[in-house]
Chain A
């Protein structure tokens, strides 16, 4: 790995570029503060819908708060209000530092953040009103879809112009992943929100799943990995193990991921050959995943003791383990035999939450813990509270994932025995949903302690100046 990249990751980038470069981080701050606020608000909705599985009549007579309207609000709120906004904020933090230049335009960045917040508020209103397009992850009505495209172009232009004016010739792996995210998201989003409207039935479903799967695979994965590639070396103060391995991970991800959408329709009304292609490529996903995970573990060699009292590193490395697990599950339940048991069961939300919460939200939280004190030139309000937030999210997450996987398998086996009436398979899952609800409360406590810690760090920034 070239010296200047090493430096830009190992030390403050200002040290590498002669006269100290002071980053404004205004845009990054806007994005992160609003995203953490949505993390908290949508967390309340998450706990509410988990409660509805246990007490199905809860808030049942209020049409705006029925399960079918809160669920898309939970999904869209967590994906776009919290996670994607946090990822964008962290990109606005990382890219100028990796390029040793200021962000191309803070004004454009702040305008993007304002537009993004308007979109999220619009989403809350439209989803509660039931203005739902009826396509998963693409629920938002057309005007909001168009606003997302505009915001994405504003984000992309700003980041690309910053990269184009970079001081270092070579681009660190996080930069490729962010560029990949911006480019692929553009096409994935257009497919899932616009192209689908020109198709019907199976054809539309195929486009819909291409979007749904790649929203995770080509939006949250690359930007999440960009964050992990940046903050793991930073937080552990250790250079990345292998530049070459990171290239293998990136280019195999770029090639393999997009083929897998049809595995959402295994055994369903879609061509068999397309199902087989999606299975083959789903299994190949093991290549980019293991290339990335090996690189992170090898980076940590001899450094594991740092996990003991380094909260961002705890989030990052357990995020890597969850990433490995979720990306092992994915290929496995794409196999027809396994799919016949787990498909459509509660295994699916268990898997999805491990990817989006366990892996990518953990990366984003680590990024926030690392970045917020630096952007506000202060120190974290409470290390102890940060540690609590980790353990709340860890135990809540594990309780959630593990019970849903086991429960999902159990449910699938019951479904495959047609002599068991369907309603009995619902009643049997009740204990699973009770554990899920209490795990959700633990996760919510994690979100509250994380959000409170960040808020107190920012509000008390003047009282605790950063150590040089």
Chain B
């Protein structure tokens, strides 16, 4: 049948698009219609169903900080997903408590999404509240002052800009905090 595409211009175009659209439609348009967790913000009040908590929309200052995170390309080296791997839940964990895995409903307000493809630095999906603002400030000025061996670039233009620093830190402190899972909620500010 596809022999016809050899010499017929219109047939070749039609078949090439048809083949493409079957897979294209089934893998991009259909999944969010089938799986509602992609669009419904996380909320759970029942401890028997896993960690409780509620996903809140970003505030104005957090959005500003997120814009800085996007602008500087932090997402090229830091993923934001605790995957269904034991090691991920331990690395995202805190003080001996394993972190819950990331679920789609935790990211409903994220645009652009920051899941990432490359983990040159540690995953940040549960970093919110682990380090205080002073730590972040010193770290942005020169990461190697706090973490010898780190290859993160220094960001003095953020560390020296109080407004951007406050916004970026505010954003980072939100990461992964819609689910309450840590012992005694020991979050730093």
Is B70 among interface residues, defined by CB-CB distance under 8 A? Answer: yes
Most buried by B among A191, A264, A426: A426
CB of A274 within 8 A of CB of B27, answer yes
In the assembled complex, how far is the CB of residue B127 from the closest CB belonging to chain A, in whole angstroms? 12
A428 to B2, CA, bound (A): 53
Give the chain A neighbours of B122 by CB distance below 8 A.
422
Give the chain B neighbours of A203 by CB distance below 8 A.
31-32, 38-39
CB of B149 within 8 A of CB of A67, answer no
A-B complex: 10 closest residue pairs judged by Cβ atoms: A68-B73, A134-B112, A201-B107, A267-B83, A134-B70, A202-B104, A418-B90, A258-B23, A344-B119, A130-B71
Selected from B27, B73, B86, the residue in CB contact (under 8 A) with A67 is: B73
Of the stretches B44-52, B128-136, B152-160, B167-175, the one at the interface is: B152-160
Using a CB–CB distance below 8 Å, which chain B residues touch chain A?
2-3, 5-7, 9, 12-13, 15-17, 19-20, 22-24, 26-28, 31-32, 34-35, 37-39, 70-77, 79, 81, 83-88, 90-91, 101-104, 106-122, 142-144, 147-157
Selected from A133, A135, A169, A270, the residue in CB contact (under 8 A) with B104 is: A270
CB of A258 within 8 A of CB of B24, answer yes
List which A422-442 residues lie within 8 A (CB) of chain B: 422-424, 426-427
Give the chain B neighbours of A133 by CB distance below 8 A.
70, 112
- Give 12 pairs: A residue, B residue, CB < 8 Å, sorted on A: A53-B151, A57-B142, A68-B72, A68-B73, A163-B9, A201-B39, A202-B38, A251-B15, A264-B117, A269-B81, A271-B104, A423-B150
CB of B20 within 8 A of CB of A349, answer no
CB of B73 within 8 A of CB of A63, answer no
In the assembled complex, how far is the CB of residue A168 from the closest CB belonging to chain B, in whole angstroms? 9
Selected from B27, B115, B151, the residue in CB contact (under 8 A) with A205 is: B115
In the assembled complex, how far is the CB of residue B91 from the closest CB belonging to chain A, in whole angstroms? 6
10 more A-B residue pairs beyond the given contacts A68-B71, A187-B20, A199-B32, with a C-beta to C-beta distance below 8 A: A53-B151, A61-B156, A183-B20, A201-B107, A203-B31, A204-B110, A258-B20, A261-B27, A267-B85, A418-B90
A292 to B117, CA, bound (A): 29
Residue of chain A at shortest CB distance from B55: A201
A72 to B19, CA, bound (A): 32
Residue of chain A at shortest CB distance from B22: A255
Give the chain B neighbours of A60 by CB distance below 8 A.
153-154
Residue of chain A at shortest CB distance from B10: A164
Selected from B12, B19, B111, the residue in CB contact (under 8 A) with A201 is: B111
A423 to B72, CA, bound (A): 21
Give the chain B neighbours of A199 by CB distance below 8 A.
32, 111
In the assembled complex, how far is the CB of residue B152 from the closest CB belonging to chain A, in whole angstroms? 7
List which A286-336 residues lie within 8 A (CB) of chain B: none
Given A201-B108, A202-B104, A265-B115, also A176-B5 (CB < 8 A): yes
